[in-house]
Structure 1
């Protein structure tokens, strides 16, 4: 945005569904459409009644409270209280440590578990696990609610506070208590360095270029252009652009990416200020450097596609007639600005809406697919607890999940009822024998991990959204 700010400290403008990362070096994830500008907050005195009241409360505490208090703590508490009263999960006050974590996150210092989150009621919700990270490998899903970290409840904690509990050195473990569809389970993950590469590509169906964009970070537009040129040399005739489970990222990158597929002058997005005034961003050489894609494209999206990924998908759909295939996207349509205080703390506050090219505000609604297609139902089964052993005679919801997984893999034919009976034991033994595991008929961690790994491979083979895209482009 070109909005003037006093004493502006320039930094890249962002639309950031910040990739969590629950980071060692610092990770905060908010799932926000995030236009960032910088301003040193003017702390000039004001004589308004409201400020006089705040000042009176502060002085009363400082002069009359029965024991010494930290003026910094009281001030920070007041600021957090005011921002909290907005009831906006994307507005937040960050102290110096928290601000440093955010800045490290923005500069792609990724190391952690790899899941983008936002505040949800008393807890935090996963917006999207990132491909190739511990969170994705562990099977965490969009809409999962994290209620505790290492056995400690995070009820009432801010995203920043919750993330602090999840940080740690690469290689160390963190145990999350996760709630999915009213059921809770624990999952232990090993922190790792989060992949920096955000674009993966290959040729499918001989003449279709498949490009997966996992997030939108500093080099994504460049990576995308490289992938497009590489596939073009291989003679592809069309492209599938996959932004499923893409939590978003930098606005400038989303603009550059979108502009490659749009004719000059076509609208990419709009930003609407509090006054109702709109700033329109249009495709052109300013963003794409003159590089254009004219071959047919189709975009894959789902509930984990948020913010900058939605800007990209919405622009291609509404300004380039690209079909959207999958399920409803996440729906993140507000704009934040981050301001610096002199003590190096920061305040992030929502200042505007962003709209699709036709002026739609998709906040909490998402983009609607042209063609609805999804992974098979078993792709959304909750993870099993690998710390437990399941055997003949046991009854639990975890066993019901096991039965559904084995059924999807072709080993179990009965109705999944949660009872570990003879038929379940036989199915487990059969699976273990075929997959060179000790055939005990008892399900331990090794068997569970093997089953869920096989299931992930089968899910990829039964990707109905990708199949639909291929049929359209053929």
Structure 2
């Protein structure tokens, strides 16, 4: 496993940009001519990218700006801005342009680790939307969730910004704070998260054996080394007498297409389809398996943060390998991107959506997701919003923050008897008990110190494996399938 400490491109020096390295990495021959803006335009024009009139129009615009704008301008910024404008015109959150520095960081993110808050984002209608927080990352631990809209960072609005510019505001050095204002469906007011940026080590595969011969393999994303690591861990578990397998792709934002195909082949019988890729001319490239089926039952655990390559794996194993899908419906990203970095000739990169992918039976899951065979949700307290610490809350208050506090109190063992947001005497009593237990002033008032202590107690509970309802149900399902198979022999 490669252990590099690198500050990776936009997402992952802050967040992963829409689609990560999503699905494919293709490099075509570099153009014969490179250089400044005119050279770039000429090289594109020579490859029939621009008609002569179009190239002239862009060149004239640059000349007019340089000749008449009241300040000196950086010519390279004009070229970058023009390309960014083209990408925005596509209205595709997964196609974008990266300058030289961010492109270099993006390429490095494929390999190992990075510094940031650790989440993948995309741009939708001018809003920065979280695709998925990376498991174990600062964003994940703080409570950022798939589909959250990031409104601002450290007081600076992100709305309407081009994605690279928005992510640059999120990036920062290890140890620095990113104060995020989040809009979440179902929450009336924006939620504030204070996240300390840190190293995010992408050990993409982890495995363990549970009682009864149940193997568990967790995949955090599909990077270049993930296929090899998965194969290694699978062989270890099989060598230990594994009787059934649970594959966990919750909050996995996706990755490289060839990697997920390699993993799926280890379970899908030879000749059965893993995925279909359809281009703009409706031509389909089918990817049949060259592998073989396993004799043991398989369950795939997914949630709303399972996107892209995670959905390919889930669909392939469900439809072609008889696996059971459990958890929540997935994110719904059904497109394929390719990164072009050699063609532009200056280290910059274009990530372009080139096709859509379909499940083995031909279903396009884009913006719909995949429904699990068995629906299992986490308890409400897993997704409760933080309490606004700029305010205090006491008897007779009535607000969403009080409701969130009541959910937290109940979760950590202090009974309020209600979760409707009204601060009654029972809630006050619960707050006093919590404060006494945590050596705080037991006045029954939720102030900053009490709110922070309450949230810390909740995070500790959520991180307890015994509280992971989805994982526990998944293990139980595999155990049930093992027993059913044994009884049918």
Which range, TM-score by smaller chain?
0.7 to 0.9
SS at match of 1:137: helix
8 Å CA contact retained: 2:23, 2:258:
no
- Residues 459 and 441 from structure 1, CA distance in 2 versus in 1: closer, same or farther, beyond 3 angstroms? farther
Deviations 1:28-64 (A, max 9, x none): 4213533221233543445455444444444444455
Residue equivalent to 2:141: 137
Residue equivalent to 1:6: none
User: Does 427-436 or 333-342 show the bigger shift?
Assistant: 427-436
8 Å CA contact retained: 1:21, 1:113:
no
1:27-426 residue pairs with structure 2 within 5 A?
Answer: 28-31=16-19, 33-39=22-28, 40-41=30-31, 42-45=43-46, 46-47=50-51, 49-63=53-67, 68-181=72-185, 182-284=188-290, 293-340=294-341, 341-386=344-389, 389-392=392-395, 394-426=397-429
8 Å CA contact retained: 2:99, 2:348:
yes
Q: CA deviation at 1:376?
A: 2.2
CA RMSD across the alignment: 2.7
Gaps of 5+ in 1: 1-18, 286-290
> C-alpha distance in 2, partners of 1:51/1:463?
58
Residue equivalent to 2:37: none
SS at match of 2:44: coil
- Residues 74 and 457 from structure 1, CA distance in 2 versus in 1: closer, same or farther, beyond 3 angstroms? closer
Deviations 1:269-309 (A, max 9, x none): 12111121122222226xxxxx8743110111111100111
1:5-24 residue pairs with structure 2 within 5 A?
Answer: 22-24=11-13
Q: CA deviation at 1:200?
A: 2.3
> C-alpha distance in 2, partners of 1:281/1:218?
19
> C-alpha distance in 2, partners of 1:237/1:37?
39
- Residues 85 and 416 from structure 1, CA distance in 2 versus in 1: closer, same or farther, beyond 3 angstroms? same
Q: CA deviation at 1:322?
A: 0.7
8 Å CA contact retained: 1:27, 1:105:
no
> C-alpha distance in 1, partners of 2:100/2:157?
24
Q: CA deviation at 1:153?
A: 0.6
Q: CA deviation at 1:431?
A: 2.8
Residue equivalent to 2:453: 447
Q: Could you state the TM-score of these two structures normalised by the residue count of structure 2? A: 0.84
8 Å CA contact retained: 2:408, 2:454:
no
Gaps of 5+ in 2: 1-7, 32-42, 484-489
SS at match of 1:330: coil
- Residues 294 and 51 from structure 1, CA distance in 2 versus in 1: closer, same or farther, beyond 3 angstroms? farther
8 Å CA contact retained: 1:128, 1:246:
yes
User: Does 391-400 or 171-180 show the bigger shift?
Assistant: 391-400
8 Å CA contact retained: 2:9, 2:105:
no
Count the aligned residue pairs: 450
SS at match of 1:183: coil
SS at match of 2:91: coil
Q: CA deviation at 1:22?
A: 4.0
SS at match of 1:35: coil
Residue equivalent to 1:14: none
User: Does 125-134 or 231-240 show the bigger shift?
Assistant: 231-240
User: Does 51-60 or 374-383 show the bigger shift?
Assistant: 51-60
Deviations 1:289-346 (A, max 9, x none): xx87431101111111001111111111111011111121111111122223122222
- Residues 130 and 388 from structure 1, CA distance in 2 versus in 1: closer, same or farther, beyond 3 angstroms? farther
8 Å CA contact retained: 2:230, 2:263:
yes
> C-alpha distance in 2, partners of 1:404/1:260?
43
8 Å CA contact retained: 1:297, 1:322:
yes
Q: Could you state the TM-score of these two structures normalised by the residue count of structure 1? A: 0.86
> C-alpha distance in 1, partners of 2:338/2:223?
18
8 Å CA contact retained: 1:111, 1:193:
yes
SS at match of 1:110: strand
SS at match of 2:201: coil
- Residues 65 and 298 from structure 1, CA distance in 2 versus in 1: closer, same or farther, beyond 3 angstroms? same
8 Å CA contact retained: 2:386, 2:455:
no
8 Å CA contact retained: 2:299, 2:474:
no
Q: CA deviation at 1:364?
A: 0.8
> C-alpha distance in 2, partners of 1:20/1:49?
35
